[in-house]
C-alpha cells in the first residue's frame, strides 16, 4: 500500500517518501513488528485521506469559481437562482466532509475553511448599475469627489496635470484647471463656497474658483463639441467601445489662474482638504509632514510632524476640527485642533502602508491599507479596531456614505467592494469587458444616496464612472 519513489537518474538517492521512511524504520529502529505494521498502516490511511481531500477541494473550488461568475451576472439582473446553486455547493461540501476519515483536528480545520468559502456567496440584496462615463482625462485619475456647494458637480484629479469639473447629470465637462506643473493628486471642494482645492506633485496646493459658463445639464440627445487642445473624439475609447453610457463632450472652459498658492512643503503634495467651515486648509506631503494653512492668506499656522515615512492621504472631519493623516509608516494619526493644546493619537494595526483613512458617522474612522484590509475604529477606544474587513487586493482611497455608513473599497485588482460599517459584505460592483474599470481603481466617492448617480469611481485606466447603487440593504 505504501509507494516507493526513486529517481530515474543513476546513482541518485531515493526521494524521501513514506516508503523510504518505512525502509529506514525497518533497518534502524528496533520496534516490534506489530507496531511497525500499525504505524505504516496509519501513515497510509492519512496519505489516502489527504489525496481524497485534495481532490475534493479542487472540485469544490472549480464549482465555486463557476458560480462566482454566475452570481455576478445575476446580481445585476435580480435573479434568485444562484441562491439554490449555492445551496448545492453547501450540500456537496457536506457530503465530501462526511466521507473523510481524518482526525478530529483535521476535520475541524477543513470544515471551517470550507464554510468560510461558501459563506461569502450570499444572495445579493442590492442592485448596481453603471450610469455614466465622464471622459476627458489623458492619464490616470487619482481622485474623484462630489461638490458640497453644488451637488450637481463632480471633480477629478489626474496625472495629466489637470483637474476637471463635470456635470453629474449630463456628463458634460464644465471646466479644466491647468494651473499645476505636475500630477494633480487630490481635489476637494469648499464646504459652502464655489472654491476648489487641489494638491500636486509640483510641491504646491492651489485654491481656485469653480466658475464656468457651460450649463450643468444639456437636453437629452444633445452633444456639443470641444475645440482646440481640449478636443476629444467621443467615439474613441481606450477599450475600443463607443460612448454608450451617454457621456457628453462640451466646450470645456480652461482655467490656469489660481486665487492662492500654498507652498509650505519640500516634496510632492499627495492630498489636501478643507477644515470644518473652510477657513483653514490642511496639506499632506511626501516630506513626512502635514501643514495647517490660513485659507485666506496662505500663512502656515502649524506644521504636523511625527510620521516616519511619506504621507499618503489626509481628511478633515466634516463638522469638527479633527484631521486624520495616513502614512506609508503603517500608521494613521488623529489630530485634534479643538483644544489649544494639540492632541495626537496614533492608530497602529496595519502591517503595510496605510493608503487612506476617513471619518464615518458615530465617532468612527475607517482605514484602508496595502495589507489588503480595511479596519473600522472607534475614536473613543483606539486600542484595537471594532471590525476588520479582509480582501484579496491592496486597498486605495475609500469612501463612507454619510447616511447608511456603507464603505466603498477600491482595489488594485480593478474591483470595487461594498461593506457596511460592521464589516458585513454587501456586494461587489459589476466588472466586465464593457463595464467597470480595466486597470487599478484609485479612489471612490459617495454622493447623495437617493440620487440617480450616487457613487463615483476613478482609475488608472483614465476612466471616471458614475454608478447607481441601491442601498436598500436587508437586515
Grid-cell match 445579493, residue found: 124
pLDDT tens digits for range 29-72: 567 888 888 888 888 888 888 878 877 877 787 777 667 666 65
Question: Does 42 reside within a domain?
Answer: no
Please say if the pLDDT value at position 239 is more than 50: no
456-466 average pLDDT score? 96
pLDDT of residue 427: 92
pLDDT of residue 222: 35
193-202 average pLDDT score? 96
CATH number, residue 414: 2.130.10.10
201-217 average pLDDT score? 82
Question: Does 239 reside within a domain?
Answer: no
Higher pLDDT, 81 or 337: 337
User: Are 183 and 140 in contact, with CB atoms under 8 Å apart?
Assistant: no
pLDDT tens digits for range 81-113: 444 444 444 454 444 444 444 455 555 555 455
Question: Does 38 reside within a domain?
Answer: no
pLDDT of residue 100: 47
pLDDT of residue 450: 78
The region of weakest confidence among 19-33, 299-313, 344-358 is 19-33
Tell me the torsion sign for CA atoms 218, 206, 143, 181.
positive
Please say if the pLDDT value at position 16 is more than 80: no
pLDDT of residue 61: 72
Please state, for a pLDDT cut of 90, what percent of the chain lies above it: 55
pLDDT of residue 66: 67
pLDDT tens digits for range 398-449: 999 988 899 999 999 999 999 999 999 999 998 876 789 999 999 999 998 7
Question: Does 231 reside within a domain?
Answer: no
Three-state SS letters, the chain: CCCCCCCCCCCCCCCCCHHHHHHHHHHHCCCCHHHHHHHHHHHHHHHHHHHHHHHHHHHHHHHHHHHHHHHHHHHHHCCCHHHHHHHHHHHHHHHHHHCCCCCHHHHHHHHHHHHHHHHCCCCCCCCEEEEEECCCCCCCEEEEEECCCCCCEEEEEECCCCEEEEECCCCCEEEEECCCCCCEEEEEECCCCCEEEEEECCCCEEEEECCCCCCCCCCCCCCCCCCHHHCCCCCCCCCCCCCCCCCCCCCCEEECCCCEEECCCCCCEEEEEECCCCCEEEEEECCCCEEEEECCCCCEEEEECCCCCCEEEEEECCCCCEEEEEECCCEEEEEECCCCCCEEEEEECCCCCEEEEEEECCCEEEEEECCCEEEEEECCECCCCCEEEECCCCECECEECCCCCCEEEEECCCCEEEECCCCCEEEECCCCCCCCCCCCEEEEEECCCCCCCCEEEEECCCCEEEEEECCCCCC
Distance, CA of 209 to CA of 165 (rounded, Å): 11
Question: Does 230 reside within a domain?
Answer: no
Question: Does 149 reside within a domain?
Answer: yes
Please say if the pLDDT value at position 300 is more than 80: yes
List residues bridging with 156 in a β-sheet.
Answer: 144, 164
298-325 average pLDDT score? 96
pLDDT of residue 148: 79
**What mean pLDDT value characterizes the chain?**
79
pLDDT of residue 65: 66
Distance, CA of 369 to CA of 371 (rounded, Å): 5
- Domain total for the chain? 1
Residues 6 or more apart in contact with residue 254 via CB below 8 angstroms: 175, 176, 178, 229, 230
Torsions phi, psi of 323, nearest 5?
-135, 140
Grid-cell match 489636501, residue found: 272
Please say if the pLDDT value at position 265 is more than 80: yes
Please state, for a pLDDT cut of 70, what percent of the chain lies above it: 71
Range of the domain at 175: 132-210+257-471
Please say if the pLDDT value at position 366 is more than 70: yes
Record the pTM: 0.69
pLDDT tens digits for range 120-163: 444 445 688 999 999 999 999 999 999 977 778 999 999 999 99
Amino acid at each position: 500500500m505504501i509507494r516507493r519513489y526513486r529517481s530515474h537518474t543513476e546513482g541518485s538517492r531515493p526521494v524521501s517518501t513514506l516508503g523510504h521512511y518505512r525502509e529506514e524504520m525497518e533497518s534502524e529502529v528496533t520496534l516490534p513488528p506489530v507496531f511497525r505494521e500499525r504505524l505504516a498502516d496509519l501513515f497510509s490511511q492519512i496519505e489516502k485521506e489527504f489525496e481524497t481531500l485534495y481532490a475534493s477541494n479542487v472540485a469544490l473550488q472549480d464549482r465555486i469559481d463557476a458560480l462566482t461568475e454566475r452570481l455576478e451576472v445575476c446580481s445585476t439582473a435580480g435573479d434568485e437562482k444562484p441562491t439554490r446553486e449555492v445551496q448545492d455547493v453547501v450540500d456537496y461540501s457536506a457530503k465530501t466532509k462526511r466521507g473523510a476519515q481524518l482526525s478530529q483536528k483535521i476535520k475541524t480545520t477543513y470544515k471551517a475553511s470550507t464554510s468560510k468559502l461558501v459563506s461569502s456567496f450570499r444572495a445579493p440584496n442590492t442592485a448596481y448599475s453603471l450610469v455614466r462615463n465622464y471622459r476627458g482625462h489623458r492619464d490616470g485619475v487619482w481622485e474623484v469627489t462630489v461638490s458640497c456647494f453644488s451637488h450637481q458637480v463632480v471633480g477629478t484629479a489626474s496625472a495629466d496635470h489637470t483637474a476637471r469639473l463635470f456635470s453629474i447629470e449630463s456628463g458634460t465637462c464644465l471646466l479644466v484647471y491647468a494651473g499645476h506643473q505636475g500630477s494633480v493628486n487630490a481635489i476637494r471642494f469648499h464646504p459652502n463656497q464655489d472654491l476648489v482645492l487641489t494638491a500636486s506633485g509640483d510641491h504646491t496646493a492651489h485654491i481656485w474658483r469653480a466658475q464656468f459658463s457651460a450649463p450643468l445639464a444639456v437636453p437629452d440627445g444633445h452633444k456639443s463639441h470641444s475645440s482646440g487642445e481640449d478636443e476629444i473624439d467621443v467615439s474613441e475609447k481606450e477599450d475600443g467601445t463607443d460612448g454608450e453610457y451617454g457621456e457628453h463632450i462640451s466646450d470645456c472652459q480652461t482655467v490656469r489662474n489660481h486665487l492662492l498658492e500654498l507652498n509650505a512643503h519640500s516634496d510632492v503634495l499627495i492630498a489636501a482638504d478643507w477644515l470644518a467651515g473652510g477657513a483653514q486648509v490642511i496639506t499632506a506631503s511626501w516630506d513626512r509632514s502635514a501643514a495647517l494653512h490660513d485659507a485666506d492668506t496662505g500663512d502656515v499656522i502649524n506644521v504636523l510632524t511625527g510620521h516616519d515615512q511619506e504621507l499618503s492621504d489626509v481628511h478633515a472631519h466634516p463638522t469638527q476640527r479633527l484631521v486624520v493623516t495616513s502614512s506609508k509608516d503603517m500608521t494613521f494619526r488623529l489630530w485634534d485642533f479643538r483644544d489649544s493644546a494639540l492632541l495626537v493619537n496614533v492608530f497602529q494595526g496595519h502591517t503595510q502602508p496605510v493608503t487612506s483613512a476617513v471619518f464615518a458617522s458615530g465617532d468612527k474612522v475607517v482605514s484602508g491599507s496595502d495589507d489588503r484590509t480595511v479596519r473600522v475604529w472607534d475614536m473613543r477606544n483606539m486600542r484595537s479596531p471594532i471590525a476588520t474587513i479582509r480582501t484579496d487586493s491592496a486597498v486605495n482611497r475609500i469612501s463612507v456614505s454619510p447616511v447608511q455608513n456603507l464603505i466603498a473599497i477600491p482595489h488594485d485588482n480593478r474591483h470595487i467592494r461594498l461593506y457596511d460599517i460592521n464589516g458585513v459584505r454587501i456586494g461587489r460592483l459589476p466588472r466586465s469587458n464593457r463595464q467597470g474599470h480595466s486597470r487599478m481603481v484609485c479612489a471612490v466617492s459617495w454622493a447623495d444616496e437617493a440620487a440617480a448617480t450616487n457613487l463615483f469611481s476613478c482609475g488608472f485606466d483614465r476612466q471616471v464612472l458614475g454608478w447607481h447603487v441601491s442601498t436598500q440593504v436587508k437586515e
